[in-house]
Amino acid sequence: MVAESASRSTPPKRVDAKLADYDWDALSSAATSLPAPTRLTAPLDRDECLARHAHLERRERDLDNATQVRTARAIIGPGKRSSAAALHQLDPLHDGFLSSASSISLNQPAKGKLLPVRIISQPLRTVSVRFVVEDARGNPVPVQLFHVPTTAIPQEQLQDWFPVGAIFGIKEPLFRSLNDGSYYIRIESPVDIIRLYPRSPLLTNVRFASPRLGPGGTRISHWLDPVAESPARLKEAGDKAFATGRLVRAKEAYQLALDALQGDPSSTPTPSTSTSPSISDDDQLLLRVKVHANLAQTLLRLELPELAHRAAQAGLLVLESSSSPHVTTTSTSSSLRIKLLYRRALGLYRVGQYDLACQACEEGIRRSIATNHPDNNSEGEATALLERIKQRQLEAEQAPTAETLRSLWLSSVVEQQRRRAFPQSSPAGAAEMDLPANWIDSSSISISPHIPGKQGHGLVALRPIKRGQLLMCCKPLASAGGGGGGGAVSDQWRYRYTVGVNLWTRSEDPWAVREVVSQVLWRAALEDQGEGEGEGGGHGGGKGSLGRRGRTREAIAPLWAGTQLGRCRDPDRDRLPEDDVDVVSPSKVEGAVTFNGFHLEDVTASSSSSAASRQSSLSTAGGPDNDVDSDPDKDQLFHAPTALYPEYPSALNHSCLSNCTYTFLSSVFLLRARVDIAQGEEMVDSYVDAADQLEVRAAKLAAHGFECACPLCVEERQAGATVRRRRVELVRRAEEELGEPRRRIDLDELGQIVSELERTYPATTHIRPALYTPLRLLSEALAAAAVSSESPDPQSDPIANELRALQSLGARFSTTGGPSEGLEELVEPPRVRDMDGVMSALWIAKEWRRRGEPEKCRHWISLARSIEAGQAGEELFDLRYGEWARKHGLDLKL
């Protein structure tokens, strides 16, 4: 269980400033403990519950009108629960939660119980989503529902997802006591609240009283009043809502219409429950098919493709179940079938089931050609979709092509430009980008469950791997924070109730971590309620939690979550069976996101800024896939984009000296071999910036529960704190030499700094990251001073000096002549600092061009491309560095 507190403030400038003040043990105790259970007997006052909620609504509205940013501390960590019971295992509380048969206790989950409730207030988002409900006997109780995603459900959509008058079932409800003697129901996950439609079997013996008036005499009833509406009118209401962009309302109306039509197409209505005409009636059957088709379209627009293809399949099953020639042979049914096939294909395409999508799409095209109906406009769309499906099928088998990656780059650039032009637009993005298929080179890499000395799984090479080889391409399970580009952090919605602390890592958490957790749990909840519902009926009939494994559950189950959620003091308290994917525990998901989530930094966003900083030469460029340093703008870090990926990316372990590199195109995860990798060798990339000081790296890694033992960390520990501080001081002195533009650069002073830095390293140490910045600055200074390249002193030659800078990053070269000959061959690329190695090679190419050596210029462009092959890939080389190259007269396509 978790304690939250809210405050009102301007956006925090340094959100980690109070970390030292946190009493972590006290927070852990508060998050994992409950007061002693007591029997629940006293009802709450209905008017007081509604009045308190109305007061909270007014307060939030006033703060919104004043553009007041709110923050809240929301704890991420162990102790949170979801019900592990399937719906058919739960006993509905027909007489409410205060009856003698309910045996409800405060501060203790009601095991084996399902509480049907009706919403009687408008929902409100604070740290949680709040609303007031009543049971079948009219007893009111406030509800706080946690882990409802901000991007999937913005504030204005809450009342459509949780409409007044709608009936929900709360699985194994937890009533929490408050200090004033009142209580509320705390729901940790949307998985535990189920939408129940009027004909749900779970409501067979539940009778809610007639709606009563709320504050101000407002009528508390569902906006559609489904008892009085016919299926046809419900469909019309859905069509109207769809046309006006109220997609969630349209979804609600269509599902109510299906419920009124006995929404499960595999079931037969009985006289006791059916209030609509017989399902054998042709008009009613066609109406039902139309509702399924419209529901599928709505779900696609809501970016719920898994549910969309189920809804389309349900409509197809209804058509196939009919033996009436008036249904199966009419032009209307033919047109509907083609629409359903197309929408099913589109849903399957978006969830990556390309073979089934191809079958549905091809069948739709065949039927479209055969019918030749003049009103059918789906053939062209289906043909275009089929082409995309076949391209994704090839990608799933053979990896994305260079053309696909370059196209994705350009699409990502366009999306970033849109966000900059419209920073207040929907954080979820205006349109879904067409991303390549997930692909794993399973012939080259595999997950090993047992890596000596490591926590969790690991990736190993099954055969020798060459530098630059693409090893995987994966789309995220969930992402937040503005997609791959990051978006503008000034948007108010990002700061509204978003501040969190993470008990797993004892650190401040980015907003996006909590949002990704919420997205995963929300999607699992939707899959539960759509699973088994007649392939898309969604009428809350109780089949949604019978233990069928949804995609989200299957994807989350294998992800490592801190030694089986064991970073808490009592590991057994939160232990879940590794193969139990039917339990979607918030603790499990929070642990999985904490230890497997990636900080997204789209290479299209990082490249131009990094190149620009190298162009100025007074600061170094950060790598595109490294963590944000501890010093930059904390608002950027705190609201950094985060994404959760399937098992293979999450199995990648750490070393400061990586042998592979992951980068992001938009939110697509790409992994390449940075160097040649031997068979049986583990694949590792750095969780931190290897150019950071040892103390900074160690602090970040300590939050993950381990200490790095790579050669770089070992050398720095052996050197001692005094030597490490001396290196930092020397680098700072070098930067100060170029920090004053009007000051004459003292080349001798820079040279002495470099020499002194070199003496802090053992002669056998090959990688010396602290040397890179002073050498880089010295190269610029020497070039600016136009020192002759004929000088016998290597430190006086900017090209030779830049070659030393590359070597300090771990690069090794073989030469056929002197070190300044310009035709060196790359034996091993730089092991740290990513883009800096490429930029240094391009800088050398620029210098050879300035000296009138086109062959050597082209050679070093080729070496830069070779280095980039092991990072973002040579397919993107000219796109990533083209702007910088053009400004300096380089042709990267030579």
pLDDT at residue 616, as a whole number: 46
pLDDT at residue 429, as a whole number: 37
pLDDT at residue 644, as a whole number: 92
Please name the residue that has the structure tokens 């699973």.
531
Token code pair at residue 445: 């890499």
pLDDT at residue 792, as a whole number: 46
| Residue/partner pairs of 557-560 with CB below 8 Å, 24 or more apart | 557/581, 558/647, 559/592, 559/596, 559/644, 559/647, 559/650, 560/455, 560/456, 560/457, 560/592, 560/595, 560/596, 560/650, 560/651
Strand spans (E) along 190-266? 193-196
pLDDT at residue 490, as a whole number: 40
Nearest to 459 by CA among 473, 474, 444: 444
Q: Where are the domain boundaries for CATH 1.25.40.10 in the chain?
A: 231-398
Q: What whole-number percentage of the chain has pLDDT above 90?
A: 41
Q: Assign a CATH topology to domain 4-217.
A: OB fold (Dihydrolipoamide Acetyltransferase, E2P) (2.40.50)
pLDDT at residue 420, as a whole number: 66
- H helical segments located in 720-822: 721-737, 747-759, 772-784, 798-808
Question: HSE on the CB side for 146, CA within 13 Å?
Answer: 24
Distance between CA atoms of 345 and 300, rounded to whole angstroms? 11
Nearest to 656 by CA among 769, 772, 811: 769
Crossing angle (nearest 10°) for helices 305-321 and 511-530: 10
pLDDT at residue 219, as a whole number: 62
Per the CB < 8 A criterion, the answer to whether 105 and 191 are in contact is no
In the chain, the amino acid numbered 787 is V
Q: Where are the domain boundaries for CATH 2.40.50.140 in the chain?
A: 4-217
Which pTM was predicted?
0.85
Residue 862, Cα to own-chain centre: how many angstroms?
A: 36
Q: What is the DSSP string of 485-535?
A: T---TT-HHHHTT--EEETTTTEEE-HHHHHHHHHHHHHHHHHHHHTTSTT
Residue 288, classed as helix, strand or coil, is helix
Distance between CA atoms of 327 and 46, rounded to whole angstroms? 51
- Pairing state of beta strands 660-665 and 668-673? antiparallel
pLDDT at residue 479, as a whole number: 87
- Pairing state of beta strands 38-39 and 105-106? antiparallel
pLDDT at residue 36, as a whole number: 87
Which CATH superfamily is 231-398 part of? Tetratricopeptide repeat domain (1.25.40.10)
Q: What is the DSSP string of 434-479?
A: -PPPPEE-TTTEEEES--TT-SS-EEEESS-B-TT-EEEEE--SEE
Cα distances (Å, whole numbers) of residue 633 to 545, 628, 636, 728:
44, 9, 6, 21
Distance between CA atoms of 385 and 581, rounded to whole angstroms? 33
Ranges of residues in the chain whose predicted pLDDT is under 50: 1-17, 263-279, 375, 426-431, 483-492, 494, 531-548, 567-581, 611-639, 742, 788-789, 791-792
Crossing angle (nearest 10°) for helices 247-260 and 282-301: 150
Per the CB < 8 A criterion, the answer to whether 329 and 314 are in contact is no
pLDDT at residue 802, as a whole number: 93
First to last CA, the chain: 61
SS (H, E, C) 609-647: HHHHHHHHCCCCCCCCCCCCCCCCCHHHHHCCCEEECCH
Distance between CA atoms of 754 and 505, rounded to whole angstroms? 38
